[in-house]
Chain A
């Protein structure tokens, strides 16, 4: 390494706030929630979380994700005919009405981004909890960081509730298995997001790589 290249400052207890760039010391006791003293932005998550806990949440999330997308979310009964739809059915119907940009947006934010994020997390957490370093860790971590803000499952769920009330005026509506699965999915995703700590995963990855 030459004198020109950046050097990590990992071993020091110094934190830089990512919203105001203030340099500050981390408290000596581990496992505390740390907030920036100038702007109040959370800098460090409280509890140290084992990857196996996150892994359990991700696995449950994937299972529920499949259920939520396979089973109908709402069923509608009017005039003797019955229609049901899933999130993918919505995408299909939109794309058949020359609304391709909207269909793609719904597909990406409702299905692809959250699904891909869960798969990426599985790829990262499964080897890490077994003590192995996954191949291509840095790029997958970057992908997770890009995907995360675009997953909007919770907004979709609110959309389902709004449509249920709107449709209740004109026909019989039946909430389906998909709807309950979406409820479970947002709980699992929220639990997972609150535990996700990129810095901790990186440290874990480095210790795993050093062992092998």
Chain B
């Protein structure tokens, strides 16, 4: 007895155009070759082409960049008393100690928690799809939807560093410079977003359908 006795579009030979979301009847003979959407001319695919491979590649690259992003300083404050090097985490600790804990919480969520959870969630999604797991498909689809929404929010620290760099250029008192972690952190944000974009959530449901047969 299938758990989800429902018909998918792909099984009916219906492909949804990625460009204009038109549902097209693709003849069996044309399914192996290249076929274009009759409305907008974009190439039609049953699933995102090589989605898993791209998603894995971007995710692995993001995981590598995540290490320098957290270990190297993201902001250098040059004062008369010397240079202060702040990593992402030490910036959060500084905010917490200076009494502005709501702000510390916002920065902690956006810069530490969101990138980490994004990487872990993508890892979970990719591994379960790779293993053709039938576990909690609805929840995994919801997780993917959440990933797409929170994706850009980890850019927060990049903007903050950029603004501080542009504002605090007081020659005599203090200057702020961006540290090497800014590049790595920006790369993490972009790479995890690219990884999520290439992942096709329909693959989660494909394994269930195959399992039911």
Seen from chain A, the residues whose Cβ lies within 8 Å of a Cβ on chain B are 1, 3-10, 12, 14-16, 18-23, 38-41, 73-74, 76, 78-79, 81, 83-85, 89-94, 97, 99, 101-103, 105-106, 109-110, 138, 141-142, 145, 149-150, 152, 154-156, 158-160, 162-163, 165-167, 169-170, 198-199, 202, 206
Return chain A residues, CB-CB under 8 Å to B190: 105
For A101, the closest partner residue in chain B by CB is B183
Decide: A138 and B40 in contact? CB cutoff 8 A. yes
* Distance of A5 from chain B, by nearest CB (Å): 6
Return chain A residues, CB-CB under 8 Å to B9: 16, 21-23
Q: Give the residue of B14, B20, B167 whose beta carbon is less than 8 angstroms from that of A9.
A: B14
Q: Determine the interface band of chain B, counting residues with CB < 8 A from chain A.
A: 35 or more
* Contacts A105-B186, A149-B197, A160-B163; A141 near B19 (Cβ below 8 A): yes
* Contacts A21-B202, A38-B6; A9 near B141 (Cβ below 8 A): no
Decide: A38 and B23 in contact? CB cutoff 8 A. no
Q: Give the residue of A22, A91, A202 whose beta carbon is less than 8 angstroms from that of B22.
A: A202
In the complex, A132→B90 CA distance in Å? 57
Partner-contacting stretch, out of B55-63, B116-124, B126-134, B170-178: B170-178
Sample of 10 further A-B pairs with CB below 8 A, known A6-B25, A39-B141, A155-B156? A5-B35, A6-B15, A7-B38, A18-B202, A22-B205, A94-B178, A138-B20, A158-B110, A162-B103, A202-B20
Decide: B36 and A6 in contact? CB cutoff 8 A. yes
Return chain B residues, CB-CB under 8 Å to A84: 167
In the complex, A14→B103 CA distance in Å? 48
Return chain B residues, CB-CB under 8 Å to A105: 155, 158, 186, 190
Q: Is B68 positioned at the interface, with any CB of A under 8 Å from its CB?
A: no
Return chain B residues, CB-CB under 8 Å to A73: 163
Q: Contact string, B21-63, partner A, CB cutoff 8 A, digits 1/0?
A: 1111111011000011111111010000000000000000000
Return chain A residues, CB-CB under 8 Å to B204: 20
Q: Is B159 positioned at the interface, with any CB of A under 8 Å from its CB?
A: yes
For A104, the closest partner residue in chain B by CB is B186
Decide: A23 and B12 in contact? CB cutoff 8 A. yes
Decide: B167 and A6 in contact? CB cutoff 8 A. no
Q: Which of A15, A83, A162, A206 has the most CB of B within 10 A?
A: A162
Q: Is B66 positioned at the interface, with any CB of A under 8 Å from its CB?
A: no
Q: Contact string, B126-168, partner A, CB cutoff 8 A, digits 1/0?
A: 0000000000011001101100100111011111111111111
* Distance of A164 from chain B, by nearest CB (Å): 9
Return chain A residues, CB-CB under 8 Å to B202: 18-21
For A102, the closest partner residue in chain B by CB is B182
Decide: B162 and A6 in contact? CB cutoff 8 A. no
Return chain B residues, CB-CB under 8 Å to A199: 20-22
For A159, the closest partner residue in chain B by CB is B159
Return chain B residues, CB-CB under 8 Å to A142: 19, 40, 42
Decide: B158 and A102 in contact? CB cutoff 8 A. yes
* Distance of A34 from chain B, by nearest CB (Å): 13
* Contacts A90-B163, A159-B159, A198-B20; A5 near B173 (Cβ below 8 A): no
Decide: B162 and A91 in contact? CB cutoff 8 A. yes
In the complex, A152→B87 CA distance in Å? 23
In the complex, A142→B8 CA distance in Å? 25
* Contacts A6-B26, A155-B156; A94 near B165 (Cβ below 8 A): yes
9 closest residue pairs by CB, A with B: A159-B159, A16-B9, A6-B24, A85-B166, A138-B40, A90-B162, A93-B166, A20-B205, A163-B163
Return chain A residues, CB-CB under 8 Å to B205: 20-22, 38-39
In the complex, A84→B9 CA distance in Å? 55
Return chain B residues, CB-CB under 8 Å to A78: 170, 173
Return chain B residues, CB-CB under 8 Å to A3: 27, 29
Return chain A residues, CB-CB under 8 Å to B161: 102
In the complex, A169→B104 CA distance in Å? 14
- Could you list 7 examples of A-B contacts with CB < 8 Å? A5-B36, A19-B141, A39-B138, A91-B162, A106-B162, A109-B155, A155-B152
